[in-house]
Amino acid sequence: MTVSTHALITLIVCTTLLGAEANAKKMSLAKGAAARGLSSAGGKNYDANTLKPEQLKACLTLDGQIDNYDGQIEHEKQRLTKLDTKMTRMDADISAIEQYLHAHQNDEFGTESEVNEFNRKADEYNHSVSTFNDDVEQMQTAMQQLNTDIDTYNNLLAQYNSDCEDKSYYEDDLQALGGTL
């Protein structure tokens, strides 16, 4: 398999991965968007749709974890995009050197400087291919990490949606928890 084929496969996988989105975004409990804050003026009644303080705390913790993974996923996507850009540039450079080497591989060089130039290009090619292959490994590792983080994000989001979404809570319970998180 040539370097160009490796680059094409890498670019296809990376582009597909970068286009993949995590499941639907959740709305933050702390902002009151995913749940309804109730007043406890008439007393508190914790039914199946009202979060108890410990449940509210767990939801706030999940909310923070989801936000952290969201930021981490964004950072990893940016890193992969930069690496992809670098590899695309390297692939073009390697292809140009490869064309030069193929065009001159059977030449009979008349001077030592011509031989040295050909050898320099061959060394540059070998070094570039080695660097490119190292970058392919880095990209594969980064993509595996991104996939793991997306899976974790989606699991946390599913738990949040199951346990927290569309539930009510008491405003004073939220205020009481504000200092503990």
Q: And the tokens for 170?
A: 């008491």
Range of lowest pLDDT (1-5, 160-164, 172-176): 1-5
**What phi and psi, each to the nearest 5 degrees, are found at residue 169?**
-150, 165
Range of lowest pLDDT (4-13, 85-94, 148-157): 4-13
At 35 the pLDDT is 56
CA-based nearest residue to 171, from 40, 9, 18: 40
Residue 38 DSSP SS3: strand
At 111 the pLDDT is 95
| Whether 73 contacts 150, CB under 8 Å | yes
At 28 the pLDDT is 45
Domains of the chain, first to last? 57-105+114-162 (1.10.287)
Q: How confident is the model at residue 178 (pLDDT cuts 50, 70, 90)?
A: confident
- The tokens 């767990």 sit on which residue? 58
At 45 the pLDDT is 87
pLDDT (tens digit, 9 = 90+) per residue, 109-130?
A: 999 999 999 999 999 999 999 9
